[in-house]
């Protein structure tokens, strides 16, 4: 968000996913987080390095030490991969989400029908 931490991916992203788990929702403050996965060896952190914390015994999350923006997620079951937030990309529209995970935890007002029924404003609601 502030630009202090940024990254370059040298490989092809995969598993573009909307995650609805409680941990992702609480870590981001959003109804779900869109992640994409890359091989850890294909990720280059530029600028300042993110800070990391264990959000559970098996998972570690990365964030900007200045603005707190959520940047990454790693799980011990996949030590060679890292998930990055799609919204942290300069052009997130280049990725197309493939599926939802942890749908059992989704917030009820996040149902596609309910979202489609909401009014849309190009900018603010004023």
The per-residue pLDDT for range 104-114, each reduced to its tens digit, is: 999 999 888 88
- The Cα–Cα gap between 103 and 23 comes to 13
Residue 49: give its domain's CATH number.
2.170.150.70
Structure tokens at 105: 């935890």
The per-residue pLDDT for range 27-85, each reduced to its tens digit, is: 999 999 999 999 999 999 999 999 999 999 999 999 999 999 999 999 999 999 999 99
Residue 116 lies in a domain: no
- The Cα–Cα gap between 56 and 75 comes to 9
Q: Which domain holds residue 83?
A: 6-111
Residue 43 lies in a domain: yes
Residue 49 lies in a domain: yes
The count of domains in the chain is 1
């Amino acid at each position: 968000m502030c630009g202090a931490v940024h990254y370059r991916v040298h490989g092809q992203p995969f598993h573009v996913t909307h995650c609805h788990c409680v941990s992702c929702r609480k870590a981001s403050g959003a109804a779900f987080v869109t992640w994409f996965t890359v091989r850890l060896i294909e990720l280059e952190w530029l600028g300042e390095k993110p800070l990391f914390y264990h959000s559970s015994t098996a998972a570690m999350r990365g964030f900007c030490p200045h603005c707190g923006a959520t940047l990454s997620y790693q799980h011990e079951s996949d030590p060679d991969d890292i998930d990055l937030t799609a919204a942290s990309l300069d052009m997130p529209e280049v990725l197309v989400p493939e599926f939802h995970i942890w749908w059992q935890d989704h917030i009820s007002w996040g149902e596609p029908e309910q979202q489609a029924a909401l009014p849309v404003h190009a900018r603010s609601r004023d």
